[in-house]
Amino acid sequence: MQPIEIIVIIASVLIVSSVLASYIYKKIKKIPTGECANCYNKKKVNKMFNEIKKELDEERCHCGNC
C-alpha cells in the first residue's frame, strides 16, 4: 500500500468513528437527534422564526386595499 492510501483509510475511519461517537454521546445525554435536534438549539429556533416572519411579510399584500 502506498502512503496516500493509508492516509485516506485512516481519515475515513476517523470521520466515521467521530460521527458514531457524536450520535452515541447525544443518546447517552438524552440530547435530541434527527429532526428534533433543530428545535433543541434556541438560536436555530429563533432563526427559523425570523425566516418565517420574513416570508410572511413578503407575501402580505402591499397595495393598501386589503
Looking at residue 60, its pLDDT comes to 74
Q: Where do the structural domains in the chain lie, given as residue ranges?
A: 1-31, 33-66
Higher pLDDT, 64 or 21: 21
pLDDT surpasses 90 at 14: yes
pLDDT tens-digit readout, 32-44 = 888 777 677 778 7
11 pLDDT tier (thresholds 50, 70, 90):
very high
Residue pair 45/39 in contact by the 8 Å Cβ criterion: yes
Give percent helix, percent strand, percent coil of the chain, each to the nearest 5.
75, 0, 25
Most distant CA pair in the chain, distance: 74
pLDDT tens-digit readout, 19-31 = 999 999 999 998 8
The DSSP result for 32-56, as a single string, is --GGGHHHHSHHHHHHHHHHHHHHH
